[in-house]
Amino acid sequence: MSIISKIILLLSIVSMPLSAAVKPVKEVSSERRSAVISQILKKEPSSLLVYTKGLICKSCGIGIRKHIAKIKSVDRSRGKKGVLLDINNQLVQVMVYGEPDTKAVAKAIRDAGYTPVKAYYKSRGKLVVKSL
């Protein structure tokens, strides 16, 4: 892409109204979110999933990853610095070693400007759900 094309693209994005740039996320039913959580934990049992209000676009991941990557129990070799986002279901997936540090992850999400609601993970083969 030429530099002129990049400038034109940047100007079109900057001049776009914010409402057009960010589509609101439609609230997902708790049943659907539970089904998605079950699927993810079946594939990645060493993950912590956090239902996070305010998670509406891929850009949200920048701050969330920055803060979560500082936590010692995060496996930064998986996902993107140890974090994957499911914007459609408002889920933050954190790849962890052993038992997840839900308090540290919740604090990291809050520090990034978002609201962690519930944490989901497996412990000894059983689903654990914690309100944050």
Alpha helices in 16-127 (DSSP H): 18-21, 30-43, 60-68, 102-111
The whole-number pLDDT of residue 18 equals: 45
Higher per-residue confidence, 20 vs 96: 96
In the predicted structure, residue 28 carries a pLDDT above the cut 80? no
Residue range 79-100, pLDDT digits in tens: 888 999 998 899 999 999 988 9
pLDDT band at 54 (very low <50, low <70, confident <90, very high): confident
The whole-number pLDDT of residue 19 equals: 42
The whole-number pLDDT of residue 126 equals: 92
Higher per-residue confidence, 14 vs 7: 7
Of the candidates 56, 57, 53, 58, the one whose C-alpha atom is nearest the C-alpha of residue 106 is 53
Three-state secondary structure of 18-32: HHHHCCCCCCCCHHH
